[in-house]
Amino acid sequence: MATWRQSAVADQLDVIPATMKAAVYRGVNDVRLETVPVPEIGAGEILVRVHTCGICGTDLKKIATGSHSVPRIFGHETSGMVAAIGKGVTEYQVGDRVMVFHHIPCGQCYYCRHKTFAQCETYKKVGCTAGFEPSGGGFAEYVRVMDWIVRQGTVRIPEGVSYAQACFVEPVNTCLKGIETLALQPDETVLVIGQGPIGIILAILAQRTGAKVITSDLYPQRLTISKTFGLGNVIDASRADAVVAAVREQTEGRGADAVIVAVGGNGLIRPAMDLTRPGGRVLLFAQTVRGEATIDPAAVCVDEKTLLGSYSASVELQEQSVRFVMGREMDLERLISHRFSLSDSVEALRLAAHPQPESMKIVIQPGSEWEGQSK
């Protein structure tokens, strides 16, 4: 039987349980559904009852590589309902529907002044936790949102927008940052390699710049989904040399002005550079695991190709990403192929780590158990 406690905060949603379920990371490829304490909140903080949390590739990387100490509770694409507010919180009320960022930079350090926000030490300090070392915490029933995130990284969900749609704000921000880094022009052609959910979002945002967008993927099923979002210029990469031939044909033999690598692994970096015209750009978006890669240095020096990287979100794009998602400029919820209850979170993470041709965005929805339905 669940135990309950009265919370010593300014306001709360009914009573807050003393314990909750969470998917706890215990080691390399070892995540377990456990009962843990509901996190206590302090002054200036809020407690959010999680409804939906998307599974991100960076979560999967940390679980698979053992890059972080244990135990931890991951999950940072989080939306839910404010369950309690700490003393001094005036911006939010119990019952508000919100999504939360987990990183917010200081805005004053060397890296912030140079707009490299993801390298800011404050940015690297995670401001949301379901217990243990702060690691996002969205794979749990409740998450504690710390004061600086409450002030700068918490966003209300408007009426009529689902929790599932709202959980895309942070990943959309990362994609907007990548497109801004690439600085596409309306007369350019961009190839997006990979049509998983992130690849599709990147392609849609690239298309909004006026650039001509070509997409490719090994799985025809994903290209079919891509087409339903209006991305009709697709290449089946499972056919040998199909991508090279199609890109050359559509660019008068030059190659793409820009290529976005939206698939993990380093093996696609050299092919992406080969598909780029002299003077063009390659954006590495999914290469988050450190290691070595093969490139042609003369492609950078002699052919003047530029290799770019983009990682995590930008605070400067927060409002733009919120408008895009909350204004439903893209029906992001259609990217969700699988919804799992928190009780099935281990299975959800396993599927996300081994994606199938038909699997796209996978979300964990603790709220499906307290709301009675997934919204």
- The pLDDT score that the predictor gives to residue 10 is 57
Q: Are residues 9 and 151 in the same domain?
A: yes
Report if residue 258 sits inside a domain. Answer: yes
- The pLDDT score that the predictor gives to residue 11 is 65
- The pLDDT score that the predictor gives to residue 368 is 81
User: Is 2's pLDDT higher than 60?
Assistant: no
Report if residue 74 sits inside a domain. Answer: yes
Q: Are residues 195 and 258 in the same domain?
A: yes
Backbone angles phi, psi at 76, to 5 degrees: -130, 0
Contact 227, 295 (CB under 8 A): no
Report if residue 47 sits inside a domain. Answer: yes
Report if residue 170 sits inside a domain. Answer: no
Q: Are residues 18 and 138 in the same domain?
A: yes
Give the helix ranges, DSSP H, for the chain.
57-65, 110-113, 121-124, 147-152, 163-166, 169-182, 197-208, 220-228, 242-250, 269-274, 297-301, 318-326, 345-353, 367-370
Report if residue 166 sits inside a domain. Answer: no
Domain that holds residue 204: 175-309
Residue whose entry in the numeric block shows the structure tokens 């710390």: 146
Residue whose entry in the numeric block shows the structure tokens 């990287």: 309
Total domains present in the chain:
2
Q: Are residues 143 and 56 in the same domain?
A: yes
Q: Are residues 155 and 222 in the same domain?
A: no
Q: Are residues 37 and 131 in the same domain?
A: yes
User: Is 370's pLDDT higher than 70?
Assistant: no
- The pLDDT score that the predictor gives to residue 314 is 97
Q: Could you write out the three-class secondary structure of 170-187?
A: HHHHHHHHHHHHHCCCCC
Beta pairing partners, 364: 53, 340
Q: Are residues 189 and 141 in the same domain?
A: no
Work out the pLDDT band at 14, boundaries 50, 70, 90: low
Q: Nearest CA to 143 among 314, 366, 373?
A: 366
Q: Are residues 242 and 112 in the same domain?
A: no
Work out the pLDDT band at 240, boundaries 50, 70, 90: confident
CA distance 340 to 113: 41
Higher per-residue pLDDT: 272 or 11: 272
Q: Are residues 144 and 249 in the same domain?
A: no
Q: Nearest CA to 365 among 23, 14, 2, 12?
A: 23
Task: Give the pair of three-digit tokens for residue 54.
Answer: 């998307």
Report if residue 48 sits inside a domain. Answer: yes
CA distance 49 to 97: 9
User: Is 5's pLDDT higher than 50?
Assistant: no
**For the domain that residue 300 is a member of, what is the CATH number?**
3.40.50.720
Q: What is the largest CA-CA distance in the chain?
A: 69
Q: Is the peptide bond before 71 cis (omega within 30 degrees of 0)?
A: yes
- The pLDDT score that the predictor gives to residue 335 is 98
Contact 222, 355 (CB under 8 A): no
Query: 230 Cβ partners below 8 Å, 6+ apart?
Result: 204, 207
Kind of pairing between the strands at 154-156 and 97-100: antiparallel
Report if residue 358 sits inside a domain. Answer: yes
Q: Are residues 87 and 140 in the same domain?
A: yes
CA distance 209 to 220: 26
What's the pLDDT tens digit per position in 41-95? 999 999 999 999 999 999 999 999 999 999 999 999 999 999 999 999 999 999 9
**For the domain that residue 155 is a member of, what is the CATH number?**
3.90.180.10
Work out the pLDDT band at 373, boundaries 50, 70, 90: very low
Contact 259, 203 (CB under 8 A): no
SS3 253: coil
Q: What is the mean pLDDT of residues 183-207?
A: 98
SS3 48: strand
Q: Are residues 49 and 123 in the same domain?
A: yes
E strands present in the chain: 4-5, 11-12, 16-17, 19-27, 30-37, 46-54, 77-85, 97-100, 128-129, 142-145, 154-156, 189-193, 212-217, 234-236, 256-261, 276-284, 306-309, 336-340, 361-364
Q: Are residues 29 and 104 in the same domain?
A: yes
Residue type, 367: G
Report if residue 270 sits inside a domain. Answer: yes
Query: 267 Cβ partners below 8 Å, 6+ apart?
Result: none
| pTM for this model (two decimals) | 0.94
